[in-house]
Amino acid sequence: MIKSLINTISSTELSSNIRAKASSDLLLLQSEEHSFRDSIRKMNQQLHGEVPSKMLTAKLAQSKKDSSIPGLYRSNKSVTSDIDEMTTLQKVVPHLFQFLQIWKNKK
């Protein structure tokens, strides 16, 4: 399907409206494919018990598309998934923090 959209976009015989529609459809398909691959990667990460890095946690929080990332709230409302920091936070002030499980439904 993507190849046919690319052929449609590059075709000079079709009107610009059809090419524009094909171009927007192609962008939509590519973004859905990217989202689908991210979902698979995140699910595999959970199944294997991997804890994401701080950078990945921040990136996912910024994109607001994410999946279940284990972590704890810090006092400044940010989230950490660093195992050592999570252990320290739980020992110091356990009542201020709760585990965070985010699984947003894709719209």
CA dihedral over 36, 38, 39, 43, signed as positive or negative: positive
**Cα distance between residue 79 and residue 73, in whole Å:** 5
Determine how β-strand 79-80 pairs with β-strand 72-73: antiparallel
pLDDT, tens digit, 9 for 90 and up, residues 30-77: 888 888 888 888 887 777 766 666 667 777 666 654 445 555 566 666
Using the predicted structure, report yes or no on whether residue 89 has a pLDDT greater than 50.
yes
If one compares 78 and 40, the residue with the highest pLDDT of the two is 40
Q: Is the pTM of this model over 0.75?
A: no
